[in-house]
Amino acid sequence: MRIVIVGAGIVGVTTAYELALQGHEVTVYERRGSVASEASFANGGLLAPGLVAPSAAPGMPWQVARQLFGSHARLRPGGIDALAQLPWLWRWWRASRARVHGPNRMAMHRLAQFSAARMQELTRCLNLEFEQTPGVVMLLRGERELKAVQGSLALLRDWGVPHHVVDAARCRELEPGLNEGTSLHAAVHLPQDGAGNCRQFAHLLKAEAQRLGARFRFHTAARALGAGTAPTVALDNGVTVPCDAVVVCAGVSARTLLAGVGVRLPLAAVHGTSVTAPLRHLDGLDAPGPRGALTDERHQIAITRLGHRVRVTGGAEIGGEPSRLEPAALRRLYRVLDDWFPGAVLAREAQHWKGAQPMLPDGPPVLGESGAPGIWVNLGHGASGWALACGSARVLTERLSGRDAPLDMAGLTVARLRG
């Protein structure tokens, strides 16, 4: 089949690779100059199927409401624009009910496990190196945090995800650079989860997709889609491309493109921020920064080692200006990093970045037929798109090639968002 993919973030690149591997004729149109230039550019790097979950969870709306304007706010309204997101927030609030959250979390977990297995396979077969580190440590500052993770620990036990609750001493053995002066109650160690550089992986997989014949066309935006038995993509250079199927992997911008063919998806941009800085060298040695990936559960911040650099990510801003970095969000990242690894990085060489997580209100992405003939979607991976990309691409490819999905698709198709 001749397949056009719109968008070359991590989701578009993995999809291009899988489709090309199955012998399809693939062309990817990307409005930016390179792959992974938007949400996939400098994300937290966590590959943690054990932690993948919808942001809408029981108790979360009230927690968010309480913290909304505090200095440790997890979710901030991005100014007056946030009002436009009220319908989305309403759906998010309804999805936080236990009976809706449970199946959604399960669906995301299934996909995350499948995705991790596919990524491992690709990494091994293609010999990919992308600054991987093994293991994730969830730092629990106090009894309150330990109590808050009990529900998740019960699920990890049920699902057979290897994990250990460890005391502060054991945690400091795992991460010897942790500041002795910062109080730590306990931690959860997930030895089979990990982290890696999403952007680097996207570049490597793009090269592999090209080897299989996939074509990437940069600085070329899709302006409109045409649905039907002979679908089309109208480009901003005036050309209209005919094909057998279109796969929309355009992140948050997909909403407008899909509305043009009558598909309305409640996709919202939830902005997060990251700081990436080189490790400080002391007497020619790296300072004792993090060895692997950690999360600070109180502040909902991830700290990841990426080669000789450290990345700190966090925050969730609804609405707001995509290009405006919030000083408060940056201060929070620096404060938490300095709390755990004081002086570990060269802050003056840090890169600051803000990205838009393409998020559906109930959590899981949508994979497969969009509802408009000939138009397929691989969208809405929210805060876990890196962890879910390889599996989502594989699922989409199997369905588009006319085969059964390799996992239970309950909760992963657009059908759940209709009505």
- Catalog residues that contact ligand FAD under the rule CB under 6 A: 6-12, 29-32, 37-40, 43-46, 221-222, 249-251, 253, 257, 272-274, 302, 313, 355, 357-358, 381-387
The CB-of-389 to ligand FAD minimum distance in angstroms stands at 7
| Residue placing its CB nearer to ligand FAD in the complex, 187 or 252 | 252
Contact assessment for residue 311 and residue 274, using Cβ atoms and an 8 Å cutoff: yes
The CB-of-5 to ligand FAD minimum distance in angstroms stands at 9
Residues facing 352 on adjacent strands = 275
Contact assessment for residue 387 and residue 112, using Cβ atoms and an 8 Å cutoff: yes
The CB-of-28 to ligand FAD minimum distance in angstroms stands at 9
- Dmax of the chain from CA atoms? 65
| Residue placing its CB nearer to ligand FAD in the complex, 280 or 341 | 341
Inter-helix orientation angle 98-126/150-159, to 10°:
60
CA 227 – CA 260 distance, rounded (Å): 9
How many other C-beta atoms lie within 10 A of the C-beta of residue 65?
Answer: 11
Backbone angles phi, psi at 65, to 5 degrees: -60, -40
Q: Judging by DSSP bridges, how do beta strands 2-6 and 245-248 pair with one another?
A: parallel
Backbone angles phi, psi at 157, to 5 degrees: -65, -50
| Segment holding 104, helix H or strand E | helix 98-126
The CB-of-314 to ligand FAD minimum distance in angstroms stands at 7
**In the 8-state DSSP scheme, what is residue 29?**
E
CA 7 – CA 29 distance, rounded (Å): 6
| Residue placing its CB nearer to ligand FAD in the complex, 146 or 306 | 306
| Residue placing its CB nearer to ligand FAD in the complex, 168 or 224 | 224
The CB-of-174 to ligand FAD minimum distance in angstroms stands at 19
Contact assessment for residue 393 and residue 115, using Cβ atoms and an 8 Å cutoff: no
| Residue placing its CB nearer to ligand FAD in the complex, 9 or 371 | 9
| Residue placing its CB nearer to ligand FAD in the complex, 280 or 289 | 289
| Residue placing its CB nearer to ligand FAD in the complex, 184 or 330 | 330
The CB-of-384 to ligand FAD minimum distance in angstroms stands at 4
The CB-of-290 to ligand FAD minimum distance in angstroms stands at 14
